[in-house]
Structure 1
Amino acid sequence: MQYFYNSRLGETRFTMSDGGLLCKDVPIGRTGVQLYGGEELDDIEPDSDGEILVERTEDEVFRPETLASFEGMTFTVSHPIEDVTPDNWGRYAAGHVQNVRRGSGDQSDLMIADIVVKKAEAIKVILEEGVDQISSGYDAEYQQTARGKARQYDIIANHVALVPTGRAGKRCSIGDSKRMTTNNTWFAKLRRAIKTKDAAAMEEAMESAPSELTGDEGTGELPKAINITINPQQPLPKQEPELDAIATNDSGDIETRVAAMETTLAAILEKLGSTTDADPDEEEEGRRITSDAAYHQDVVSRAEWIVPGIKLPDGGKLASFKRTVLDAAFKTTEGEKLLKGIVGDKPDFAKMPKLSLDAAFIAASEIAKGRNNIQLNHRTTDSAAPNRRPTAADLNKQNAAFWAKKGN
């Protein structure tokens, strides 16, 4: 579609002859899995975290009726509290959406549109305040496929909203902008990306950590030497571990990605620092999550990847168990190699803040499992390890004795 414009503001933004703003080639929706709160879908049973993973397939997103329903729909600043109708259009409209189509190439999983913004306040929010993420408002049907999982179908559009943080993430946003990311929102995005196994979102999160976490001022990006390449068009295998992008049959590629991830997380965790003050929420959260069977099993499984054979004592707190696992691993040759790139040379796991502890524990477990896969695929025989430091298995008895003395 051709447009007439007075000035070009960037690769995808233009000032139109009447002063309006044209935003071309804007992703307004995508296929894949997105995370919903249990309160958002009344008829779907959430998982143990109170959340629901909702899958929308390309057959549904690019259904002719769905694409046609977005054509000409109202563009709003934030989601209205009600559906947009002819009766309230004047109150909510800031522009409209047109030229809706499926993307091509590396955008083939995206619904693309051009957005014409006419309201002065909306133009200011985009150009001066930097708000640029997109969230579509629509009606849809949902079918439960498992506990905490559902599929979405029969999508019919109502409006497209400009929002500070969209469910589809940065991929669905107006281009030509720079963004500032806070610690809390960054960790929330990273958690969402891991849970939905969204490779593109994981890569985005790794490349856009807040500057106060990485030490880079101004850009909010990670050091240029770090290059984590994940192809968003390749679906991640089902039932694989989180951060599954490190699992591949090419051992050299795995090691490169593991090294990059270790460097990334080390920079982040170093900036998080340590403190002697106990987290006041740690004990309360410990009581809550210890009673959650799914979370409990996940922690135990991850601990096994890091320190094979280690067991959670009856009544043991999960946070304390994580500290013990990491500490035990660091005392072994392989464990030190695993953790050094994440937590540095002299970590103090007993004083490590809970946020740093959780990040280190998850990262170490994923890397450990990835390396276990390498060892299984490239196993050698007739090997020996003389003069080695104690292994994880060697320390299991010590750990058991420690917990037996410590009690509950």
Structure 2
Amino acid sequence: MLFTDRAILDGPARITREGHLLAVARAARANNVQDYLPHEIGQAPKPDGTPYRIFRPEAEVFARDAVQSAAHRPITVDHPAEDVSAANWKRLAVGDTGGEVLRDGEFLRLPIMVMDADGVQAATTTHQEFSLGYKADLDMTPGTFGDQSYDGVMRNIRINHLALCRHARGGAELRIVDERTSPNGEMKMSKIKIGDSEVDLSDGAAVAVAVGALQSRLSDAEGKVGTLTAENATFKTSIEAKDGEIAALKSQLADATDPAKVKARDEARAKVVDAAKKIAGDKLVVDGKTEAEIRRAAVEAKLGDAAKAMSDDAIAGAFAAYAPLGDAKPQVQPIGAPSSLGDAADVRNQARFSRYAS
């Protein structure tokens, strides 16, 4: 397929003493994705109606044969309807590119020289834009490069000529007509900015490509917004969870440093320790143990292996049962006072004892 692509002047052009035009151009940009209508690359329309996106990797643009093909290429006025060859060179060519083709960032940098007087006149008046004409193979294997998705890859690039144009197109396309005229032969200069491209409204294909590119970029942007929104929701949930954790830790810190609460905890532990030692003896080790561990140690001291399989709740119940026994002290009941059991016989006996004693 034959493609054309804009070449950008790198610095001012100049006219030599002999009347030739000298300039340096940057062309054949690498690592970019360009849009094509389906019929321009021999493909069926896409289901979503968007243009095909074709990628030009630097491995192809800067391949040795591709770079060498840019040297000593003929310069024409407008893109010819045929490849420039030895058979038509004298009729079509007005100059040529130089042999010193270099890489300049993402571009090829090449010197140009327009030697024909009519060509120089066109280049300095009506045809002030440059456009490469070249052939390439299309590998319709989709993929991505950075944040750019594409439907196919341009390979085996071979440059045929460099054209002086009235309106070089911003993107590579299959066969274009650079001179756009109205039916009466006058130039139609009505243009509009669509996205990054300035297109002539009279060129429906160019408008369609620019609109399709803008729609594709909008779709990509909407997808990124959706992703960022989802990520933001996840971050918000994570932040709220951390806020709750921080609040809980602050509350625990306040409890741990509040003098009244510290005193209450110390007193509660002291009661457990005191009760445990009354149950199991003073040799019971309590240092470094929690209150639950102290209760279990005291109950195990009483019940032995039978306590090892008991749950924490069972241990707490057993400890509560043993604790009063540990706290019990001998009680001396005054003579004449009824017993705590309220035994009527004891009351009568104590009454008789009192009578005899008197």
TM-score class, shorter: 0.3 to 0.5
The TM-score, its normalising length taken from structure 2, stands at 0.46
The TM-score, its normalising length taken from structure 1, stands at 0.41
Q: Which has the higher contact order (CA 8 A, sep 6+)?
A: 2
